[in-house]
Structure 1
Amino acid sequence: MTFGIYIGSVAGTDSELATGEPDNPSKIKSALSEIQQNDSFIVIRGYIQYLGDSKLAFEAPENILQYSNETRKIDLVLCYRSISYQRDDWENTIKTVIQRFGSKLYSLQITEEPNLRVSFAGDGGFENIDKALKDGVLTAKKEINRLKYQTKVGFNVVPSFNPADNFWQVIGSDEYLELRDAIDYIGLDFYPDVFRPVAEDGEPNDLIESVKNVLRYVRNVNFQEGKIPQSIPIHITENGWPTGEQRSYERQAVVIEKVVRTIHSLKSELNINHYELFSLRDTNSSVEDKFYQFGLLRDDYSPKPAFSIFCKLIDELTQRVTATNKS
């Protein structure tokens, strides 16, 4: 599997962006060097918001290109946050972003959680998000092919258990056949035992069983409704477990190891080839709210126990550097 991590200080909540101390590039690079043991290859996740009228804002982390090198490429999320759909402007902005990041882009995710319709965190509540997703993916794929980059193009979702949600029906319609043919992956953001608690270890529907059930449901129910073939891999684009609010550092380390190993055990069955952790550091370690403490490191970049666990998992399970990775 390919592994990755979000390295910025900014995090999303249900209603706003959570901010803390600014990014410290030297400490981020030091932490990434510890994570990348024995020639491991990783991707670093970043976000930019498109606001319409050619405006881009809220880049997190700032200047993400400074962290890229031969063994470290970028998974960029281009969020869609425009109050009105301007197709030409959206497509031209996508081309500009691709040209800016160039061959350092490992993957480009068009929109953020477009099936999350009623939350600040997702793009699904914005006008014509389905059209923006389709047009954006097709534009990105065409531009990447023109420039002869190897960048993967896709979009991400959250698990959907609501029968009234028509997102996957739209994706599975004839109108979206071009989109289905163009994507290289579909990302999945999911946070077991964070927003909805699971049973104690060893009981029915415990952490491991819950992870398996969600991933199988996404592949075998959501993707089936969207006519997504088994050949399209799943990227776990966001997963993590925060400390604070009676959530111990020790439990965070246990949860992360169990979740990563469970995902890895399903990689062949469900065609999962990619995992990214949210996130490297806390937004603000003094704020007990869970949205502020997702980090493997505190906000001063000192490690929690989960940091060494994640380093160990990458060393054991990751894809190694190859000529293809370096290209």
Structure 2
Amino acid sequence: MKFGIYPGGRAGVTCSRESDPGRVGALVGELGGGGPFVVREYVHFLGARPDPAVVASIGAAGELDGLTMPDDWYVSGGRELDLVVSYIPAVADLPGWLGFLDRVIERYAGITRYLQVTLEPNFPIPLIDGSSPGVMAALIDGLPHARRALDARGHGDVRVGFSVAEPAEWLGGDAEFWRRLGEADLGGVVDYVGLGLYPDAFGPPVPVAGVRAMTEHALRHLREHSLVVAGIPATTPIHVAENGSPSLAGRDQVASLATMLAVVREQEAALNIAVYELFALRDADTGGGEAVGALGLVTDYYVRKPAFDLYRRIVAGG
């Protein structure tokens, strides 16, 4: 299993300050240790006439000009880029979306290893793709379109997939989403399925035993139920595409992350888990007092937390 991380300092609309590329490079280099290490980044499709306030709120300006770090950084030191293309227009726009995928592929395919088409399209909350009009068409048409576009440009080695939030009871139910995927018969163009996993992040504190049970349930539910409904075979790997726990008063970030990672490793072979990516390197807003701002291994001023050394040791141990 490969490990990785989101290196930026933004979580949705929360971002206290811009990233410091020098510090990002040093910290990610230390975590990766020169071996294979996956780096997750995001670009966003907001439609033909995006609201400037929304663009600013999620930091989406200039995403096709460059990511957190220079291009060559993503293909050096053993790193592999996992690039998420998020679909969040105010009105459905399938032609615009497919054209945007083409532009993203033209710009970034040469440095990309994994291309994720949509972000959690089963999760209907604001500024996540599941709330966007036309998201099912964006996913169902976007996956084969991306595959064809990559192949036509000589990038057949780029793996194409999508991510979801799981399990269903955390979301209010997503049976219709998986049923429609199954009807679309996409198994032949899905190289992996990503999972967003935050069992103890956005509710009351959860004891370690609860974190363990919720993590295993989410992983097994995805593999043994949801992917079966969608007709996606067991040979298609799962990527734990996002996983995090906040460092807030009354919570033990180290214990939670250690527990979740232990479960992932225990289930790695049985559930075919190929990649684990932690969210995130840096807090989005350490002083804000909210879970979404405190998921990092370091503070928003890049001061290390105990969880940094925990993850470094886990990555080093393979």
TM-score (norm 2): 0.89
1:41 to 36, 44, 62: 36
1:242 to 233, 241, 246: 246
Asked if 1 retains the 8 angstrom alpha-carbon contact of 2:85 and 2:115, the reply is: yes
State the partner residue of 1:299: 300
- Structure-1 separation of matches of 2:173 and 2:250: 34
Show the 5 A alignment for 1:183-194. 183-194=190-201
Indicate the percent of aligned positions where both proteins have the same amino acid: 29
- Structure-1 separation of matches of 2:94 and 2:211: 42
Q: Deviations over 1:55-91 (max 9, x none)?
A: 7835495456363133112111111011233333221
Equivalent position amino acid for 1:217 in 2: H
Equivalent position amino acid for 1:123 in 2: D
1:272 aligned to 2:283? no
- Structure-2 separation of matches of 1:290 and 1:197: 10
Asked if 2 retains the 8 angstrom alpha-carbon contact of 1:198 and 1:207, the reply is: no
Show the 5 A alignment for 1:145-294. 145-149=151-155, 150-159=157-166, 160-161=168-169, 162-163=172-173, 165-173=175-183, 176-177=184-185, 179-197=186-204, 200-201=207-208, 206-247=210-251, 251-294=252-295
Unaligned 5+ runs, structure 2 = none
Q: Deviations over 1:197-224 (max 9, x none)?
A: 575345xxx2222211221111111112
Q: How many residues align?
A: 302
Equivalent position amino acid for 1:21 in 2: R
- Structure-2 separation of matches of 1:66 and 1:54: 31
1:126 aligned to 2:122? no
TM-score (norm 1): 0.87
Equivalent position amino acid for 1:170 in 2: R
Alpha-carbon spacing, 1:115–1:64, altered in 2? closer, same or farther (3 Å): farther
- Structure-1 separation of matches of 2:72 and 2:246: 27
Partner SS, residue 103 of structure 1: helix
- Structure-1 separation of matches of 2:149 and 2:49: 17
Unaligned 5+ runs, structure 1 = 318-327
Partner SS, residue 166 of structure 1: helix
Asked if 2 retains the 8 angstrom alpha-carbon contact of 1:54 and 1:90, the reply is: no
- Structure-2 separation of matches of 1:93 and 1:210: 36
Deviates more, 1:158-167 or 1:146-155: 158-167
- Structure-2 separation of matches of 1:284 and 1:157: 25
State the partner residue of 1:92: 99
Asked if 1 retains the 8 angstrom alpha-carbon contact of 2:297 and 2:307, the reply is: yes
Q: Deviations over 1:77-132 (max 9, x none)?
A: 11101123333322121111111113210111111110112x11421121111001
State the partner residue of 2:88: 81
- Structure-1 separation of matches of 2:230 and 2:26: 42
- Structure-2 separation of matches of 1:120 and 1:66: 33
Asked if 2 retains the 8 angstrom alpha-carbon contact of 1:11 and 1:292, the reply is: yes
Asked if 1 retains the 8 angstrom alpha-carbon contact of 2:238 and 2:272, the reply is: yes
Asked if 1 retains the 8 angstrom alpha-carbon contact of 2:88 and 2:127, the reply is: no
State the partner residue of 1:8: 8
- Structure-2 separation of matches of 1:164 and 1:140: 25
- Structure-2 separation of matches of 1:88 and 1:200: 47
